[in-house]
Amino acid sequence: MIRITLALLSGALFGAGLALSGMADPMRVRAFLDLLGPWDPTLAFVMGGAMIPMALAWIVQKRLERPLAGSTFNLPETRGIDWKLALGAILFGIGWGLGGLCPGPAVASLALAPLSAAPFVLAMLVGMALHRLMTQGPRMIPGSYHG
C-alpha cells in the first residue's frame, strides 16, 4: 500500500509541477522548440532546475541499501547508443515537436484540457502497445491470455 501511495503522491507532485511551470501547455513547448520564431526559454530553466533535485536523489540513492518502499532498486543499465535508442529519440522528438507534449505533460494535460490531450495520449498508448508487441511478443500484453 505504501508503494501505491508514494507513486500517487509522486505523480501528483510531478503533474502539479508541470502545470505550475506551464510545461503542460503545448504552445509553450513549441515556442521553446521554435528557434527561428518567438523563442521561449522557460523549458530550459525547468529542465535545468530539475537537475538539482535529481542530482540529490542520486546521492541519497547511493547511500541507501534498498529503496524505502521496495526490496531492490530497479535502475536502468548504462549502454551505448544503438539504432533502437537513436530511432526512439528521433520518434520522441518528432512527436514532441508536432504535439508539443511528451508522456508526462500529456497525462497531466488530461486533467487540464482532456479533449485536446486525449488523442495524443491514445496515440502514445497505441505506440507503447505496438512496441511491446514487436519486442516482447503477444504474451506480454496485459490482459492477453495464452494458455
Residue 147's pLDDT band, with cuts at 50, 70 and 90, is: very low
Q: What is the pLDDT of residues 47-78, one digit of tens each?
A: 898 899 999 999 999 999 888 788 888 887 87
SS3 labels along 10-52: HHHHHHHHHHHHCCCCHHHHHHHHCCCCCCCCHHHHHHHHHHH
Q: Where are the domains positioned within the chain?
A: 2-140
Over residues 32-53, the mean pLDDT reads 88
Alpha helices in 1-147 (DSSP H): 2-21, 26-33, 42-63, 83-99, 103-112, 114-136
State percent of the chain over pLDDT 70.
93
Residue pair 92/25 in contact (Cβ under 8 Å)? The answer is: no
Mean pLDDT of the chain: 84
Q: What is the pLDDT of residues 99-118, one digit of tens each?
A: 888 888 888 888 888 898 89
